[in-house]
Chain A
Amino acid sequence: MSTPSSKSPSDLQRLGGIFTKVLLGIAIILFGLEFFIHRHGVVSAEESFMFPALYGFLAFLFIVQVGKWLRLMIMRKEDYYD
């Protein structure tokens, strides 16, 4: 009934590979669309080339990095309050 456990990690890696390719595919399409579609922005900077993409990418990196720093300050052992 259960699949051999040694197969699962490779399945996950394969799935990760497909996911990455799909993401890259959509990203390329979005890059292409940027030449044809006019995006409205609240400020003019938002209308600059691939602005939301850059904002999203950098915001994500920033959030994760700040999270890592926060761990140093506010992470405690599981039984901290017990």
Chain B
Amino acid sequence: MSVIIKEVDRRDYGTIVRLTGEIDLHHSPDFHQALVTECARNPAKLIIEMSDVQYIDSSGVGSLVEIYRRVKKGGNRMILVAPGPRVAGVLEITKLDQFFTIASTEDEAFQL
């Protein structure tokens, strides 16, 4: 388990990937690979819990966009959960807050 991927919770109705730390150019390759691995399992919902992420840069955001496309191509959904102010700020600046589906809680994400 990398520093960025805190926990992977695989359930019948989807997978929750809980993140932590700072997702930057240094950590993005491992972060991306871990999400690619989860995508390969083809979960109906890939829920990415971000409340403990302290920093994300364009490389991390780029990974999220790429994973989103993979998930969508497989006919599944990807939902971001509880991005903190710093992460939300980056999503806002890049206007990706209008692109991703964002939920407040994991439960809400499962209900979407």
Q: Do A and B bind each other?
A: no
